[in-house]
Amino acid sequence: MTVLLETVPLLELATEEVGGAFGGLLAGNIRRARQRLSRLLFDRRYGVETAEFAHLDQFGLAHHERVYYSPANWGTLRRTLPAHEVGADDVFIDLGSGKARMVLEAAARYRFRQVIGVELSAELTEVARANLKSTRLPVRADRVDLIQSDVLNYRIPDDVSVVFLNNPFRGEIFAAAITNLLDSVDRRPRPVRVIYFNPVEEPFLLSTGRFRHLRTVTRGRAGEIDVFGTTRIYSITT
Ligand SMILES: C[S@@+](CC[C@H](N)C(=O)[O-])C[C@H]1O[C@@H](n2cnc3c(N)ncnc32)[C@H](O)[C@@H]1O
């Protein structure tokens, strides 16, 4: 079933070749088909609702630097973070955690001591909390914290060691969140890895001189890397 879902991104790539209005229409249809497939193949099986996209204007939260809710693909962590690289003292955080898809994946598939999701929207946090209750994934709820907050008002805890970002915000908000993270690392120097899915603000990360690129996982065609669908993994220098 995973194979079936993963063929859909290839169709998306094909629509880019078509281009124009027809390409746009096709891309929209494929996106909807992908959400339906995800709901059918994964959400139903895992007892959650994470597939439906949500625009922030429907919650009165629209801002040009905030990105709407669209979940990372199930399996994104599995493909980017080998289980043996996570120890029983590691702490995971998803900044802009939406309906908690990656929070659930982190809590179910790894030995994290704690898994934290920080989400701006109260409505999405409510869905995330319902997902935590209803999921059939093997998650220990007492290890999961779902926090409703603007990342700008949230202080990253000094024991966080794996940070997940699925292109949640841009520009100055992104810069402030990264400063917040680096402040935490400077308060308590420790190894921290950052997993950045759809890494559109990578130039800013690299401009700080503190992020070392470790590896890239991409769905793109050989030799071509498109920022969307790509995951980059970095370590932070202390
Ligand atoms: C692209 S979605 C990613 C959702 C989730 N990380 C996943 O991969 O399934 C981006 C999320 O970031 C949230 N977001 C946007 N701006 C935010 C902010 N300033 N503080 C916290 N969350 C924010 C959005 O509400 C949305 O749920």
Domain layout of the chain by residue ranges = 2-46, 76-236
Cβ of 73 less than 6 Å from ligand 1: no
Least confident of 33-37, 120-124, 177-181, 228-232: 33-37
3-state SS assignment for residue 157: coil
Cβ of 72 less than 6 Å from ligand 1: yes
Distance from residue 137's CA to the centre of ligand 1 (Å): 22
Question: What is the four-CA torsion angle of 226, 175, 66, 30, rounded to 10 degrees?
Answer: 10
Cβ of 210 less than 6 Å from ligand 1: no
Question: Angle, nearest 10°, between helix axes 101-109 and 122-134?
Answer: 30
Catalogue the long-range contacts made by 57-64 (C-beta closer than 8 Å, 24 or more residues apart): 59/121, 59/122, 59/123, 59/124, 61/120, 61/121, 63/173, 64/170, 64/171
CATH 3.40.630.30 is held by the domain 76-236: no
Distance from residue 73's CA to the centre of ligand 1 (Å): 14
Strand 211-218 versus strand 230-236 pairing type = antiparallel
Contact partners, residue 66, CB within 8 Å, separation at least 6: 56, 120, 168, 169, 173
102-141 pLDDT, tens digit each: 999 999 999 999 999 999 999 999 999 999 999 999 999 9
ipTM exceeds 0.85: yes
Q: Are 119 and 98 in contact (CB under 8 A)?
A: yes
Q: pLDDT at residue 93 above 60?
A: yes
Cβ of 166 less than 6 Å from ligand 1: yes
Mutate which of 34, 61, 99, 151 for ligand 1 pocket (most atoms within 8 A of beta carbon)? 151
